[in-house]
Amino acid sequence: MVLLYSSDLNGICYIETASLDGETNLKQRQVVRGYSEQVSEIDPEKFSSRIECESPNNDLGHFRGFVEHSNKDRVGLSKENLLLRGCTVRNTEAVVGIVVYAGHETKAMLNNTGPHYKRSKLERKVNTDILWCVLLLILMCLTGAIGHGIWLSRYSEVPFFTIPEPGGKLIPPALAAFNVFWTMIILLQVLIPISLYVSIEIVKLGQIYLIQNDIDFYRETTDSTIQCRALNIAEDLGQIQYIFSDKTGTLTENKMVFRRCSIAGQEYCHEENAKRLESYQEVDSEDEDSADRQCGSSMHMSKWQGHDCRAVNEPLNRKSLSLLSGSHSALGREDGGRDAPRSGHVAFSSPIETDVVPDTQLLKKFSQISSHSYDQSEASSKLSLETMYITDFFLALAICNTVVVSVPSQPHQKMRLSSLGRMPIKSLEEIRQMFQRLSVRRLSSSPLPSVKESSSESPSSFVSKLSVFRMKMASPALDEAAQRAAELHNMDSPENSQVPQELDMVNVAVGCEYNSATSSIELSPLPKLCYEAESPDEAALVHAARAYRCILQSRTPDQVTVDFPGLGSLKFQLLHILPFDSVRKRMSVVVRHPVSNKVVVYTKGADSVMMDLLRTASEVDTNNSEMEQKIKERTQKHLDDYARRGLRTLCIAKKAMSDAEYAEWLNHHFSAETSIDNREELLLESAIRLETELTLLGATGIEDRLQEGVPDTIQALRKAGIKIWMLTGDKRETAVNIAYACKLLEPDDIIFTLKSQNKDACALMMGKILEGIQKNASKKQPGQKLGNVSASLSTQSPGFSAGLVIDGWTLEHVLHDSLQNIFLELTEKCRAVVCCRATPLQKSVLVRLVRSKLKAMTLAVGDGANDVSMIQVADTGVGISGQEGMQAVMASDFAVCQFRHLKKLLLVHGHWCYTRLTNMVLYFFYKNVAYVNLLFWYQFFCGFSGTSMTDYWILILFNLLFTSVPPIIYGVLDKDVSAEVLLQLPQLYMMSQKSLAYLPSTFWITLLDAFYQSIVCFFVPYFTYYGSDIDIFSFGNLINTAALFIILFHLLIECKSVTWIHTVVVVGSILFYFVFTLAFGATCKTQNPSSNPYWIMEQHMTDPVFYLVCLLTTCVALLPRYLLRVLQGTLFPSQVLRAKHLDRLTPKEQREAIKRWRDDCVVNCRVELHATSGSFSSVTGAVSEEESVASVLPTSKTPL
């Protein structure tokens, strides 16, 4: 919906986009230019303009269009004027707009791939094996039909076998065989294990229950545990081969912590803040406020009430420094911590992010801003210059952002400061409306007749109009100071020329004059504020500035109010915001300084681009060029050190512009804003034109703290044979740093950064890399196929250590149909892949590509709405309940609290679920085949007539009651290896990952064993009673009883851990069988005496031969299976059996055995690494030859 009216006086609508991108912070949307000046709601029926926009697409970050009025004037539209479906309106009473996309054409619907039904890999394999059982059933029935036809043909003259129909006609043998075929289908239909599906669902329900009640998945701070939202794919957790993970909020806490900064070439380490972070423990959200107060007392913090910075002239001792540092931290809690809601309601507002302890050295220099007058003598010029850098640095931190200020008690209500003057609120609003149209925002928002008309205006008159609103809105005290500052600025004295113009000395020189006007502000209690930022980086910088009492107090579309110590409340007129984009890699704000009345540009961005935008020596005075060069060199060293520490780095710079320069740039910028064609390119060009000749102020180092246990989890998963891909929308430097920090990439890895501008260059480069790898791999392992996942070099040779880093633009090329195979072949050779600047759609396409092309089991894990697509596409989707909404959780199959929970979920529960279910499925096939074959063997002695030697009640209840519960218990509770051993030996996961427990050969061996046991179970009683006059039901009762013992004892042989529950269930099944058959034999009578089951079991219970036959049959039938298990456990033990033996050792012996196991794995890896180390040099050479075509940068160290 295009926004045409908002009840907000500034034409702003606040929205929350948690359902779209997972972000819970407030965002601003603006009314279309020209409509924001309307004081009443717009009538949609009277809307006569025409809106033209781009075709529906799934790009949430862009929108192109224009509004054409009746006079043919056009106003450009952007995403700032668009309210998307799914967003929530906050802080705004009413909005009116025109719907441009509806239904399935909305961006939210186009980004939704829809529900996706997932079937487990085991389920698909079971369906295939059931088809084999159907084929086996047909063969057995055909055998019976053919046998019956032959029987009737051979004994056609015997009246006993040729019973005529009621009409006296004899049934032809062929027709009789046809009838017997369907009779055999009914008799042997138990061979198709229909009950297996019911049992599988019951077992999965039991496994899910055990997973959800695992105490290790519980997180006390959020009072949440794992959620199993899908009941049919639990066994897939044990077969994962690829993990696709988001970065921010998934691997990291999404809590940006201010760690270090460098100002004017001087580094401030913030050691006290680092100590706080080291000893910091996340408190429960319910006790957060009280815990904050305890934290303040433990660090000797007290509230700063009424301190005058001007009185701090003497050197600060340790006690006073701790008092001041405590005051700032306490101040932050006083503003936003007390009486505030839980931090979960406001994004990026946990105590670890907000409670920044100031650096004592920097805090001491901060006090000099108000205690020194910089125009007293020339001796203090150097000190004044350094303090000026500090002032502008923290002003940039507080201003250069899009943070929304709100009240803690009402987090989503916009905060407005009361006037510093004596005017009531009503008159202030009237003045605001009166001068609204004269502000820069309104001038840039109103429809311009033409660019020529704006350009014809003189710069002096144009800029004078821009300052009217600021002069009227300022309080009397600040107004007088600003006028004096303007007079000082206009004076052309030699003293002023000594100071660089860009440093705005005047705004600090008049600081003493501000003290009289701001003393009341310092003594009065400050308002309680909450900061809602679009990114945690912005929140961290604003909170860092607040720790030094550079407090962002309010933000409107026209101005930003900052409370600075010693300078009072400064109202900056907000002229323009140039948002961050992936091309510029920086953000800028253009403001008019309230003291100097000059246009100032504050810029922050990546050091890779910011260093090239600084002023050169020719553009700086000789006295300052050497100093700025030293600042640049020192800051670059500090940035390199921050990058090595894995911190997120940002450069802070500024630029002061004259009125003429700003007016010239503004005209070009207006023409770019109002253009329709190539609007993004023109705006980019305009921003680049502004962000030049910058003065470097300093740099910051922010830590995106990894979640607890992430490095250990990734190492364990990689040892388990799982490949991990990081798919993130962040820039390459950040993604690579986090990859090294979480040990996804190792320092000794060879890193290939693939970045190309076209498809041909990308194909050439990937082919060159593969050629080098393939050449050396063929020397090591001749004949190995590179395209096979199970035989890939990274799997077969753990010593091969390479990683691939690729950005979003290159992903567009490699996802082309012609490059998919070579790209997958390259990724198979790399044990880690990092995809930067990836869109949600690219994430899902990558997961689908690996899943379909490589036939691999995939798992996608994420925490935001931008991860929903890949979570739904993957075989198993895992959502993390973090700070970015619940969209990922709602779309996932399993929801965990932290990434580290994947370790136990996969290595323990995944392994257990798969092995338990596969063993139970195989047992079901065995049980049904073994029992049905008893009926089939009997057909050879009854003329294939379809007769059963067992009563039909016993036949029905044998699978339904007597042997149904033990396999279910077996599938729920069986445990081959303990959880402790599985966690310490992740290599055991490969057994389930490679489906070794359920191979096709295992299925057929199970069926052969079932055939053998059925033959023994039938023919041992047959030859025992051969030649006797035993009746059919007595013979069948003996076979049923022996079959029950064989089937249940076979289960005990297969059980890896027999508990009292197994014993009770098995013994209970046997007792229930005997009780039922005794009761049935004592009460059931039939009309045919020859087949009467009456009193049969009672007679067998008194016959010693019955017991002997049951014992002999059971032993002979199970002897091969038992001997096979004994030989496997003694002569050829598998890794699982070896690991199971560790559970029987003492804790000390177990630790030593596990250590030896790990040492053997390390030795094997080193041997293979030494064997493959020679191949790296040739690969590196192959890459370097083509660096001019595509940027592929191999290195053995961190690229940063």
> Which residues fall within 8 angstroms of residue 1195, CB to CB, at 6 or more apart?
750, 751
CA distance 612 to 684: 17
Active-site residue, selected from the candidate residues 21, 236, 246, 730: 246
Return the HEC string of 719-788: HCCCEEEEECCCCHHHHHHHHHHCCCCCCCCEEEEEECCCHHHHHHHHHHHHHHHHHHHHHHCCCCCCCC
Amino acid at 983: L
How many whole angstroms separate alpha carbon 204 and alpha carbon 206?
A: 5
Distance CA 516, CA 499 (A): 26
List beta partners, residue 649: 701
- If you search the block for the tokens 């001041």, which residue do you land on? 324
Distances (CA, A) of 902 to 230, 669, 898, 899: 16, 50, 8, 6
CA 263, CA 117: separation in Å to the nearest integer? Answer: 55
Alpha carbons within 13 angstroms on the beta-carbon side of residue 87 total 22
∠1117-1123-1129 over CA atoms, to 5°? Answer: 145
- For residues 542 and 533, is the Cβ–Cβ distance under 8 A? yes
Cα–Cα distance measured from residue 211 to residue 216, given in angstroms and rounded to the nearest whole number: 10
Which residues touch 788 (CB under 8 Å, ≥6 apart)? none
3-state secondary structure of 56: coil
Strand order in the sheet with 750-754: 227-228, 894-896, 876-880, 858-862, 242-245, 723-727, 832-835, 802-806, 750-754
Give yes or no for a contact between 958 and 1041, defined as CB atoms under 8 angstroms apart.
no
| Residue 540, CA distances (Å) to 527, 543, 706, 732 in order | 20, 5, 16, 21
What tokens appear for 751 in the block?
């890193």
Burial 173-188 (b: 16+ CB within 10 A, else e): beebbeebbebbbebb
Distance CA 87, CA 856 (A): 36
Q: Is 410 helix (H, G, I), strand (E, B) or coil?
A: strand
CA distance 314 to 301: 21
**Bridge partners (DSSP) listed for residue 398:** none
Distance CA 614, CA 1025 (A): 103
Summarize the chain as % helix, strand, coil (round to 5).
55, 15, 30
Q: Name residue, tokens 């009314």.
A: 31
Give the count of beta carbons closer than 10 Å to the beta carbon of residue 196: 21
Classify residue 609 as exposed, middle or buried by CB count within 10 Å of its CB (0-12, 13-18, 19+). Answer: middle
Tokens 């000099």 correspond to 368
- CA 877 to chain CA centroid, Å, is 10
* Nearest of 807, 681, 811, 819 to residue 735 by alpha carbon: 807
| Active site (annotated) includes residue 760 | no
First CA to last CA distance, the chain? 43
Long-range contacts formed by 70-73: CB under 8 A, 24+ apart: 73/447, 73/449
Q: Cα separation of 749 and 754, whole Å?
A: 15
Catalytic residue numbers, as ranges:
246
